[in-house]
Amino acid sequence: ALAQGEGADPYVLYQLGKDFEVYGAFSEAAHHYQKALDAVPSTAPYRHSLTVRCMHCLGQSGRLEEAFALASDAMGEWAESPDYQFTLGNLCLDAAVVYPQDALAQWLPMAQAAWLRCLEIGERPELDGSVMGRGSCLAAHNLQVILEGQGDREGAHRYGALGRQLRQDPRQPAV
């Protein structure tokens, strides 16, 4: 029963999810992460990483509605996390591909807003599982790519330059 994660400790479920995620088994990872989220204490230091990883794996398994539901539930707790905002931006970009009729009006502006928020927040290495760059150069790169795709060469150039600058010193505030 423990192999399936039933009745297991939330931290064990989190670690099982990470194992599945590493091997690209996103649906299985999301299953374990969701079980862990149901039981994780609000004070657990790995709660941040668990939430962001679950959002990512739900998105990677094509379960965007569930990913956005989790993002909505977690927004109050993790709105000041560049990792949360970065992953939210990626989910919006995925939604733009799945729902192209709404891409320009809804999904791409939401993705851009999330990545801009990453730059406003900056790096938060004290958050468990934080990925360096999500509050700096990685967010700037995503903005550059989106703007290039929309034909905004000036904006793309600006974020490209910012990304290069932030790779040198990701701790400086970007916005």
pLDDT per position as a tens digit, 10-20: 999 999 999 99
Q: Is residue 174's pLDDT more than 80?
A: no
Task: Report the SS3 class of residue 170.
Answer: coil
What is the mean pLDDT of the segment spanning 84-92?
98
Residue 175 has what pLDDT?
Answer: 57
CB atoms within 10 A of CB 101: 7
The letter for the amino acid at 50 is L
Q: What is the pTM of this model?
A: 0.92
- Residue range 62-72, pLDDT digits in tens: 999 999 999 99
CA-wise closest residue to 126 among 83, 172, 163: 83
